[in-house]
Chain A
Amino acid sequence: MNRKKGDTESVDLNDVEVDSVTKRFGETVAVDNVSMNVARGEIFGLLGPNGAGKSTLIKMLCGLMSPTSGTIKIGGYGIQDDPVKVKELLGVVPQDIVLYNYLNARENLAFFGRLYGLSGSKLKNRIDELLKFTQLDEKAVKRRISTYSGGMKRRVNIAAALLHEPQVILLDEPTAGLDPKNKLALWEIIQNLHEEGKTILLTTHMMDEAEELCNRVAIMDRGKIIALDAPHQLIKKVKMENTITVVPDRITPKLTEAVNKISGVKRSYRAFDENEGVESLKIITEMAEDILPEVVSAVSSAGTKILSVELSRVTLEDVFILLTGRSLREEEERYL
Chain B
Amino acid sequence: MKTKRTIHQVLAIAKTDFLGIARNRTAIFFTLLFPLFFLIIIGFTFGTQGAGETSRIRVGVVNLDREETIVNGTVSQNSTIGDAFVQALRNANFTVYEYMEYGDKETNGTAAYDISRRKIKIAVSIPANFTESLSFRYVDSSGRPIPTKAHLILYTDPSDPTGSLIAQQSILGFISGFISHYQEVVISQIPETFQKYVKVLVDPITVSTNEADVSGRRLRWIDYMVPGTLGLVLLWSGLNHASVAIANERTRGTFQRIVIAPVSPATVLAGKFLSCLAIVYLSSAIMLGSGILFFQVNLYWNLPAIVLSIFLGALSAIGIGLIISSLAKNVEAANAITVLISVPLQFFIGAFFPLSVMPRPAQIFGEALPFTKLVNAIQGIMTKNLPFEAVMPEIIYLTVSGLILFALGIIAYWSSLKRL
A interface residue numbers (CB < 8 A to B) = 59, 62-65, 83-84, 87-88, 90, 92, 94, 96, 98-100, 102-103, 107, 110-112, 114-117, 119, 144, 160
**B202 an interface residue at 8 Å Cβ cutoff?**
no
B23 contacts A by Cβ under 8 Å: yes
Distance in angstroms between the alpha carbons of A110 and B20 in the assembled complex: 15
Question: B256 and A64: CB pair below 8 A?
Answer: yes
- The verdict on A119 contacting B16 (CB below 8 Å), with A92-B257, A92-B260, A112-B257 known, is no
B248, chain A: closest CB distance, angstroms? 10
Q: Is the CB of B12 within 8 A of A87?
A: no
Do A96 and B260 have beta carbons less than 8 Å apart? no
Q: CA–CA, A8 to B44, complex, Å?
A: 78
The answer to whether A90 touches B260 (Cβ under 8 A) is: yes
The reply to whether B5 and A102 contact each other, CB–CB distance below 8 Å, is no
* New A-B contacts (18) at CB < 8 Å, excluding given A112-B261, A115-B262, A117-B262: A62-B260, A64-B259, A83-B262, A87-B260, A98-B254, A99-B254, A100-B19, A100-B20, A103-B19, A111-B15, A111-B16, A114-B9, A115-B261, A116-B262, A117-B8, A117-B9, A119-B8, A160-B257
Question: B interface, by DSSP: helix, strand, loop or mixed?
Answer: helix
User: A88–B252 Cα gap in the complex (Å)?
Assistant: 23
Q: Is the CB of A98 within 8 A of B16?
A: no
Cβ contact within 8 Å between B257 and A117? no
Name the distance in Å between A46's Cβ and chain B's nearest Cβ: 17
B interface with A by C-beta (< 8 Å)? 5, 8-9, 11-13, 15-16, 19-20, 23-24, 252-254, 256-263, 420
A111 to B258, CA, bound (A): 10
Contact A94 B257 (CB under 8 A): yes
Determine the chain A residues whose CB is within 8 A of the CB of B261 once the complex forms: 87, 112, 115-116
Name the one of B5, B16, B262, B420 contacting A100, with C-beta atoms under 8 angstroms. Answer: B16
Say how far B32's CB is from chain A's closest CB, in angstroms.
16
The smallest C-beta distance from B73 to any residue of chain A, in angstroms, reads 88
In the bound complex, residues from chain B placing their C-beta under 8 Å from that of A112 are: 257, 261
**B181 → chain A closest CB, angstroms:** 68
> For the complex, would chain A's binding face be called helix, strand, loop or mixed by DSSP majority?
mixed
Number of A-B contacts (CB under 8 A): 66
| B24 near A115: Cβ-Cβ < 8 Å | no
Asked if A64 contacts B260 (CB within 8 A), the reply is yes
CB closest chain-A residue, reference B16: A111
A98 and B262 in contact (CB under 8 A), knowing A115-B9, A115-B12, A119-B8? no
A-B interface, 8 closest residue pairs, ranked by CB to CB distance from nearest: A114-B12, A115-B261, A98-B253, A87-B262, A102-B23, A117-B5, A98-B257, A84-B262
- Do A64 and B253 touch across chains, with their CB atoms under 8 A apart? no
Q: A102 and B20: CB pair below 8 A? A: yes
Question: Do residues A63 and B16 form an inter-chain contact, with CB atoms below 8 A?
Answer: no
Chain B residues within 8 Å of A94, by CB: 253, 256-257
Contacts of A99 in B (CB 8 A): 254
Cβ of B404 to closest chain A Cβ, rounded Å: 31
Query: Which residues of chain B have C-beta atoms less than 8 A from A90's C-beta?
Result: 260
Q: Which residues of A contact B20 (CB under 8 A)?
A: 100, 102
Give A98 Cβ to nearest chain B Cβ, in Å. 4
Q: Among B23, B256, B261, B420, which residue has the most Cβ atoms of chain A within 10 A?
A: B261
Residue of A nearest to B263 (CB): A115
CB distance B260 to A102 under 8 Å?
no
Known interface pairs A88-B262, A103-B16, A116-B262. Does A96 touch B9 (Cβ–Cβ under 8 Å)?
no
Contact A98 B19 (CB under 8 A): no
Which residues of chain A have C-beta atoms less than 8 A from B5's C-beta? 117
Shortest C-beta distance, A102 to chain B (Å), equals 4
Report A189 CB to chain B, min CB distance, Å.
19
Q: List 25 A-B contacts (CB under 8 A).
A: A63-B260, A64-B259, A64-B260, A64-B420, A65-B420, A90-B260, A92-B257, A94-B256, A96-B253, A98-B253, A98-B254, A98-B256, A99-B254, A100-B252, A100-B254, A102-B19, A102-B23, A103-B19, A114-B8, A114-B9, A114-B11, A115-B262, A115-B263, A117-B9, A117-B262
